[in-house]
Amino acid sequence: MGRWGRSQARFLSFFLPAAIFLIVLVIYPIVATLTLSFVAPDGSYAGLQNYGSVLGSPDTFNPACLQRGPPCGTLLNNLIWIGIHLPLTVFMGLFLAVLLQNVRGASFVKSLIFLGMVTPLIVVGVVLRFVLEYPIGVVPAFFGWLGIKSLDVNWLVTPNTLLLGLIFGTVWSWTGFSMIVYSAGLTTIPKDYFEAARVDGASEWQIFRKITWPLLRPVTLVIVTMTLLWELKLFDIVIGATNSQGGVGGAADVLALQMYRYFSNINYSSAAVVATLLTIFTLIVAVGLFRKLLGLPLRKKGRRTAPSVPQVETKSAKAAGDEGQGAVEGIS
Amino acid sequence: MNASAPTKRAPMRSRSRWVRIRPRTIVIHVVAWAIGLAWLLPFVGVAMTAVRPLDQTSLGWWRLSPFSVTLDNFVAVWNNPGCPLSLGLRDSFLVAMPATIIPMLVGALAGYGFARFQTRSRDYIFLAVVLFMAVPQMMVAVPVYNLMIRAGLISSLLSLILIHSAWGIPWIILFMRNFFRTLPLEVEEAARVDGASDFKIFYKIVLPMSLPAMAAIIVFQFMWVWNDFFFAQVLIQNPNWYLSTQCVPRLVGQFVRPYDLLSAGAILTMSVPVALYAILQRFYIRGLVGWTIKG
């Protein structure tokens, strides 16, 4: 018992400063927001009423957009964003990582593509103006040159093109992430695997299907999770490219932006509702990753080539997931 | 035939690169480089607009005549009366530097605790800390805003330093814990036998061995704080203290698009993280994928 107590005290003495920060500025605010989401503006307990009014609002969910065009509401916009952005960035990143595997100057090309990840997202939004707005942007000029009148417009003030334009903009800025992580994943696959397959006469496609893709599965899981978390928290880029209303008629409005608007209008209960919903979504995504990674068998073989990184023997699968998590927290 | 292939290839390897360039290799190189350069195009557009007078670029930066280079746009955003970027950049530095150092030290301390001291509740606390990383900033915005008002810190850079420190601690704890677990225990145990205290071991022995990990944290956390926009928008409401990321979107008018100012402001604001990335790329990439997929 005494030893336990001593160990406890030593642990606490190291953890205490961090604990104070976390309790005051993370845990307490999370609990307070959760509580706030159940409180009516006059301070009385409101049950799920706030949730009902936020989710029932066409600002959040407007399925009529299927017939009548944008806006679709923040929730649907985030979902559309995920539906287009997630597959595109994952596969383009994988394609580029594989393509650049044996290219001279690959690290420079990767840096060019990765530049969008290093740039502040608010600036990425502003940069998109120089691509999508008429007459300064390349995209309208390109379609004008092709003679396609319907796309030779200012993409950022046309409801039908705004959301799509921003989604493609985020594909441009985020692909660097999956490319870099996949590239790192590729270096962990021993070269002998590829060479043995080639000696046996396998085609490049077979090599990809039978070796590269299966061995990259844990990496794919990390990338998909990080990308999902990032897509749910989209905020800066929309403001940078449009305004805090989510563009014309809210065509590119997203959940985080809606929360910010409620906050600015001192509608704290609704702000808390949107924040809580967002948190629920992100936790579902994150917990999925942890569970899967904990269940994965440790594949020792493929990790032989890790440079300068001593191996963590126990719980290495868990550490892998955590680490990627930390990575994105730093950049998203 | 298969058996002889490796022996035949080995001596050729040094020359084969130059002798046997297959058409496929050329195509791959052309495609790869073309994609890389195409990816840069939006930034090229911004840079071209930033260094030329607006009347030359307003119909498209790719129209190259007339072409003259000027620094006027940068001077104009630097001294822009609404939100001078000279102050915005200064304030961004004043926030990002302490908001990198504080969580790095606090997080490293805690990470060491998680890596070395066994207690019954440790793993549960650790799991909770890890889950905090998935929580979006929006979840704490309103209470933190109220907290800062009550503390009299609203619109002060200190409020941002505090929230960014707290926000960075979970991933730094995780990162440092995973790093510390890879360090050999023998040195620390030898020091303990010699009577050194836990804290002395930590800062005399463990910290100096952790410099590569710290470098990764510095690049990451600094960039993360510098690039942040949401917390700044929530906590800095006084235009005198706007950060550089807050200045940039404020250059856009309701109806006018001052592309010259906008491009110069964008370049100045992104120049700091881009420079940091260019210099410390090695550590950045290590932080990004580092001990993870490879561990």
Q: Where are the domains of chain B?
A: 5-70, 85-294
pLDDT tens, A269-293? 999 999 999 999 999 998 877 766 5
In a domain, A44, yes or no: no
Flag if A306 and B288 touch (Cβ within 8 Å).
no
Collect all residues of chain B within an 8 Å Cβ-Cβ radius of residue A290.
Answer: 130
- So what's the pLDDT on residue A180? 92
Collect all residues of chain B within an 8 Å Cβ-Cβ radius of residue A272.
Answer: 142
B33/chain A closest Cα distance in angstroms:
6
Q: Which domain holds residue A90?
A: 76-251+280-331
What is the domain-level CATH number for residue A177? Answer: 1.10.3720.10
In a domain, A93, yes or no: yes
Of A21, A128, A286, the CB nearest to B166: A21
Collect all residues of chain A within an 8 Å Cβ-Cβ radius of residue B273.
Answer: 118-120
A 251-310: CB under 8 A from B: 256, 259-260, 263, 268, 271-272, 274-276, 278-279, 282-283, 285-287, 290, 303, 306, 309-310
What does the block give as tokens for B50? 């930033």
- So what's the pLDDT on residue A4? 58
Query: Could you tell me which residues come within 8 angstroms of residue B273 by beta carbon, excluding any fewer than 6 positions away?
Result: A118, A119, A120, B222, B223, B226, B227
CA atoms within 13 A on the CB side of A300: 6
In a domain, A23, yes or no: no
DSSP secondary structure letter of residue A247: S
- pTM above 0.95? no
Partnered with residue A45 across adjacent β-strands are A39
Q: Does domain B85-294 have CATH number 1.10.3720.10?
A: yes
In a domain, A163, yes or no: yes
- So what's the pLDDT on residue B119? 84
In a domain, A256, yes or no: no
- Confidence label for B252 from pLDDT (cuts 50, 70 and 90): confident
Query: Could you tell me which residues come within 8 angstroms of residue B44 by beta carbon, excluding any fewer than 6 positions away?
Result: B61
- So what's the pLDDT on residue B131? 87
In a domain, A33, yes or no: no
Flag if B114 and A15 touch (Cβ within 8 Å).
yes
Of A199, A233, A268, the CB nearest to B136: A233
A197 touches chain B (CB under 8 A): no
In a domain, A47, yes or no: no
Collect all residues of chain B within an 8 Å Cβ-Cβ radius of residue A13.
Answer: 113, 198-199
Q: How many helices (H) and strands (E) does chain B have?
A: 17, 0
A132 touches chain B (CB under 8 A): no
Return the residue of A nearest to B177 by Cα. Answer: A319
pLDDT tens string for chain A (332 positions)?
Answer: 455 567 889 999 999 999 999 999 999 999 999 999 999 878 889 889 999 999 999 899 988 888 888 889 999 999 999 999 999 999 999 999 999 988 999 999 999 999 999 999 999 999 999 999 988 889 999 999 999 988 899 999 998 899 999 999 999 999 999 999 999 899 889 989 988 998 999 998 999 999 999 999 989 998 999 999 999 999 999 999 998 898 888 999 999 999 999 999 999 999 999 999 999 999 999 887 776 655 443 343 343 333 333 333 333 333 333 333 334 333 33
pLDDT tens, B130-177? 889 889 999 999 999 999 999 999 999 999 999 999 999 999 998 899
Residue type, B174: L
Chosen from A259, A329, A331 to mutate, greatest number of chain B CBs within 10 A = A329
Say how many domains are in chain A. Answer: 1
